[in-house]
Structure 1
Amino acid sequence: MDSLTKREEEKLPHISHGLMQRVSENWGWVVTLGVTIIWFLIVGSQYVYALTFLKLQQDFNGSATMVGLIGSIYLSLGCGLSPVTSLLQRRYSHRMITIMAVLITSVSYILSSFMDSLIFLVFTFGVLSGIGYNFVYTSLNHLLVCYFPSKKCRGPIAIANAGQTIAQLGLSPAIEKLLSLYGWRWTLRIQGTVICLVGLLACIVLKKPPVWKTSEKEDKKSKKCHSGQLMAVLKLPETWIFSMSTFLTGVASTFLYVYIGSYIVSKGLSEEQSATGMMLIGCGSLAVCLIGSILINRICFPVIYLIPVVCVLKACTFTIMTFVQTFRSVNIMCLVIGVLRTGYNILLVPPAVELLGTSRALEATTIAISSLGFGYFSGSYVSGKMFDAFGSYDIALYICAALYITSATLALIAPLYQRYFVPDRYMVDIKVTAINDENKNVLTSTNYERLFIEERESVI
C-alpha cells in the first residue's frame, strides 16, 4: 500500500497532533516528573539512611561518629561537588550526567553490600553514592531553572522535591521491613537494582530546554565565561555571607538526615517506632511540597527573606526536642521537622538566584548547594561526638539550635548588605516574567520590582 502524500495527510483528522504539540510545548513539566522520579530513587534513598544507620551500628558495633560519618560524607559530597558537576554540564548534557549518576549509585549500593569494614563503607557507600547524589541534585536543579527561568522555577522545584519526601514516606516502612527480614546487605542490593532499572528509564525524558538553542559562537563564549563569572561572584562579600549561612545550616541539618533514627531510639522507643517517626517526617515534607508548588509562585516578596524565618523555627524545634519523651510528642516533632526541612530545601536555590541575579543562576546554584554540602561534612562531628561523649543528643540539639540562629542572622544580612551598601547589585526584587524569541529578558514592574535589563550569558 502506497504511503499518503503530504497534502492527503494534512486532510486527515489529526486528533493526536494537538495533544503532542501541547506536550511538546509544556515539556518542562514532563521533565519535572522525570526529575521527581530520579530524586525519589537517589536522593530519597538517602533520606532513609537513618534506618540503615541503626543496623550498621549494631552489626559493626561502631561509634555514632564513625557510622554517622558515612552518611555525613554522602551528604557532603552530594552537595559539595557542585562546582565539579557544573563544569561537567559545560561538556555533557543533563541526561548524560544523570545516567552516570544512576549507574554510579547502583554500583555503590551493590558493592557496599559486600563490605566487611566501616572504613571501606565510607568509600563505597559514602563517597560513591555522594557523587551520584550530587550529579542528579546539582544538574537537575539547574535543568529545572533552565526550563522555568527566574522565579518560575519555584513551583517545579517544589514539585520535584516531593519525590524525595514521598520516598521517605513510602520507603521508610519498606526499608525497615527489608532490614528486619533480610538485613542491610540484601536491602542495599535490592535498592541498587531498583535504582538502576527505574532510573535509566526516567532519564529518557531529560531533553535539553529550548533556551539552549544558541549559536556555536555563543556556546563557546558561555563555556569560557562560566569560570570567570564564578570567580567574580566569589569576590562579592554577600556571596560569602550567604554561603556561611548555608554552611551552618548544613552542619545543623546533618542531624535530621543521619541521626534522627538514633535520636528516636535514644528516647526509649523501638526501631519500628523510629520508622513511624520517619514516615511522619515524610508526611510533613510531602504537605510542604504540595502546598509550596501551588503557593510559592504567588509570593509577592523576595523568597530570600523566608530563609531566616525557617532557620529560627528550626532552632525552636531543636530546643523543644530536648524535652520530649513520649511516642506521641516525638511524632509531633517529626511532623514539624518534615515541614521545616523540606521548606528549606525548596527555598535553597531560588534565594541564591535572587541574590546573585538570574544571569548567574548556574553560579548561584553551585555556590548554594556546595556550601550546604561542606556543612554536612562537619555535621557528624557535632552530633556524633556529643552522643559518644554524653550518651545523649541534648547537647548536640542545643548546639544545632545556636547554629540555626546564627544562620538566620547571616541569611538576613546578605540581601540587606546589598540593599544599603551596594544598591547597584541589589537584585532580589527583580523578576523575569517572560522570554521572547531572541532570548532576552522581558521584565515587568510591580510594587516590589524595578526594571533591570541584563544579557543572559551563562545560565539558560
Structure 2
Amino acid sequence: MSSHPSPKPGAYALSMTQVLLCGAMIVTISMGIRHGFGFWLQPITQARGWTRETFAFALAIQNIAWGACGPIAGMLADRFGAFRVLVAGGLLYALGLVLMALSTSGLALTGSAGLLIGMAQSGTTYAVIYGVLGRNVAPERRSWAFGVAAAAGSFGQFLMVPVETWLIASAGWQNALFLLGLAACVIVPLALGLREPQRSVATTGHQQSVLQALREAFGYRSFQLLMLGYFVCGFQVVFIGVHMPSYLRDHGLSPQVATTALALIGLFNVFGTYGAGVLGQRMPKRYLLSAIYALRSVAIVIFLSVPLTPLSVYLFSAVIGVLWLSTVPPTNAVLAQIFGLQHMSMLGGFVFFSHQIGSFMGVWLGGRLYDASGSYDIVWWLAVALGVMAALVNLPVRESPIARSGAAQAA
C-alpha cells in the first residue's frame, strides 16, 4: 500500500493564514447568499402568480447545476489554479442574481436562479477552496483547516440570513437581489489571495491523468460509499433550508421565527463544522460521519413528535445546526487521505455532485409533494429514513491511502 508524500517544510506556495482568510471569506459570501434563498419563495411566487413547485424546481436545477459543474470547476482549478475559476464564478454569481430579479417566467427563473447561480456556486465554494487548502496546509492540520473553511460558510448563513430578510423587507425582493449581486462581486478581489504559482498546482503529489484518477476513484468502494452518504446530506439540508420557512408559516408561526431559526442553524453550524474538523484529526472519520447522519434523523423525529412552538423550532435549529455542514470537513479529509491532492478538487466535485443530486430531490420533492398533498410530512419522514441509511453506509469506509501498483505510481 502506498502513502502520499508530504510536502517538505517551506514547500507551500501560499501561507496558511492567507489561504484560510481569503478562502473563508469567499465561502462566507457564496454560502451566505444561497442559504437565504428560501425567503424569496413566497414573495416571488406571490408577485408572479407561480406555484411553489415553480420556485422549488428552479432551486432544484440550481443544485443539480452546481453539482454537475463541480467536477469541471474542480478539474480546472486542479490544472490551472483556483484564481481563474473563482473570478469567473464570482462574476457569474452576480449576473445570476440580477437576472433572477428580472425573471418574469418560470423558464427565466430556472435559467437565472437555477443554471447560472448553480454554475457560479460550483466555482466559488468548497471543492475549489478545499483544493487550495489541501495544497497549502500541512497534512496534520488539514482536517482542522477544512473545518475552519466550513465554519466560515456557516457563519455566512448566520450573518446573511437576517441581512437578506431585512433587505427584502426594507428594499423589496427585487432590489435585495440586486444588492446581493454587488456583494457577490467581492469574491473577485478576494480570489487574488488564492492565486497559486502554476508549478505548485501542476506538480503536487502523485501524478495521474484525469482518466486514471476517475477510473481509480469510481472503482473504489469507499469512494462510492462517500458519494452515497453525501447524497443524503444534500437531500436533508436543502429541503430544510428552502422549505422550513414556509413550513413554519403554514403552521401559524411568524416570519421572524423562520429568520431566527435559519440564523441559529448558521450560528451553531460554525461550532459544528469547526468541531468536526478538530474531531477528524483525533478519531476515525467514518465513525464521525455515521454519528452525524444518525443524530440528524433523531433530531428530525423529535422535532416532528413534539408540539410546534417557537421554542421547539429554536431548539431543533440549534441541534440540526451543529450537524448541518459538519459532514464536509471529514468527507473531504478522507478523500485527501485516500487519493492524495493532485485531483482533489475534481474528485471532491464528483462527491459533491452526488450531494447535489440529493439536494435536487430534497428541494423539488418538497415543493412537488406539498402541492400534491398540502403537507411536507412525507418528505420529513423520508429525510429520517435516508439519514439512517447514510449512517450505515459510512461505517465500512476505508480511510487509508489507496494501494497503487508500481506501474501506476510511475505513470
Tell me if both proteins adopt one fold, taking TM over 0.5 as the criterion.
yes
- Cα deviation, residue 168, structure 1: 1.5
Change (3 A) 1:414 1:56: same
Note if contact 1:31-1:207 (Cα within 8 Å) is conserved in structure 2.
no
2:32 to 44, 53, 57: 44
- Whole-angstrom CA distance in 1 between matches of 2:13 and 2:350: 31
- Cα deviation, residue 207, structure 1: 2.4
Residues 213-238 of structure 1 show CA distances to partners (whole Å, capped at 9, x for unaligned) of 767xx99x95x612222123212333
- Whole-angstrom CA distance in 1 between matches of 2:202 and 2:180: 40
Partner residue, 1:232: 216
Q: Which amino acid aligns with 1:401?
A: V
2:289 to 300, 304, 307: 307
RMSD (Å), alpha carbons: 3.0
- Whole-angstrom CA distance in 1 between matches of 2:177 and 2:183: 10
Number of positions where the alignment pairs a residue of Structure 1 with one of Structure 2:
398
Note if contact 2:101-2:178 (Cα within 8 Å) is conserved in structure 1.
yes
Whether 2:246 is the aligned partner of 1:257: answer no
Deviates more, 1:344-353 or 1:131-140: 344-353
- Whole-angstrom CA distance in 2 between matches of 1:71 and 1:357: 33
Note if contact 1:150-1:358 (Cα within 8 Å) is conserved in structure 2.
no
Change (3 A) 1:243 1:151: farther
1:350 to 299, 318, 333: 333
1:136 to 124, 142, 162: 124
Partner residue, 1:375: 358
Gaps of 5+ in 1: 1-21, 416-427, 432-450
- Cα deviation, residue 290, structure 1: 4.4
- Whole-angstrom CA distance in 2 between matches of 1:178 and 1:383: 26
Deviates more, 1:381-390 or 1:152-161: 381-390
Whether 2:349 is the aligned partner of 1:366: answer yes
Query: Secondary structure in 1 aligned to 2:375?
Result: coil
Deviates more, 1:26-35 or 1:202-211: 202-211
Change (3 A) 1:71 1:149: farther
Note if contact 1:146-1:209 (Cα within 8 Å) is conserved in structure 2.
no
- Whole-angstrom CA distance in 2 between matches of 1:308 and 1:45: 29
- Cα deviation, residue 366, structure 1: 2.9
- Whole-angstrom CA distance in 1 between matches of 2:263 and 2:406: 45
Partner residue, 1:274: 258
- Whole-angstrom CA distance in 1 between matches of 2:118 and 2:225: 26
1:283 to 267, 273, 280: 267
1:185 to 174, 177, 182: 174
- Whole-angstrom CA distance in 1 between matches of 2:135 and 2:406: 16
- Cα deviation, residue 404, structure 1: 1.0
Q: Which amino acid aligns with 1:337?
A: I
> TM-score normalized by structure 2?
0.87
Q: Which amino acid aligns with 1:378?
A: M
Q: Which amino acid aligns with 1:165?
A: S
Partner residue, 2:5: none
- Whole-angstrom CA distance in 1 between matches of 2:232 and 2:390: 6
Deviates more, 1:56-65 or 1:329-338: 56-65
1:59 to 47, 63, 66: 47
- Cα deviation, residue 50, structure 1: 1.4
- Whole-angstrom CA distance in 2 between matches of 1:25 and 1:172: 35
Note if contact 2:32-2:158 (Cα within 8 Å) is conserved in structure 1.
no
- Whole-angstrom CA distance in 2 between matches of 1:180 and 1:456: 59
Note if contact 2:337-2:401 (Cα within 8 Å) is conserved in structure 1.
yes
Partner residue, 1:392: 375
Change (3 A) 1:282 1:308: same
Change (3 A) 1:214 1:268: closer
Gaps of 5+ in 2: 1-9
Partner residue, 1:322: 304
Identical counterparts, % of pairs: 19
Change (3 A) 1:177 1:414: same
Residues 45-72 of structure 1 show CA distances to partners (whole Å, capped at 9, x for unaligned) of 1111111223223223433332112222
- Cα deviation, residue 163, structure 1: 2.4
1:173 to 162, 181, 194: 162
Change (3 A) 1:174 1:212: same
Note if contact 2:78-2:346 (Cα within 8 Å) is conserved in structure 1.
no
Partner residue, 1:112: 100
Q: Which amino acid aligns with 2:266?
A: G
Note if contact 1:383-1:396 (Cα within 8 Å) is conserved in structure 2.
yes
Deviates more, 1:94-103 or 1:171-180: 171-180
Note if contact 2:27-2:152 (Cα within 8 Å) is conserved in structure 1.
yes
Map residues 17-36 of structure 1 onto 2, 5 A cutoff: 27-36=15-24
Deviates more, 1:276-285 or 1:246-255: 246-255
Which one has a bigger Cα radius of gyration? 1
- Whole-angstrom CA distance in 2 between matches of 1:134 and 1:412: 28
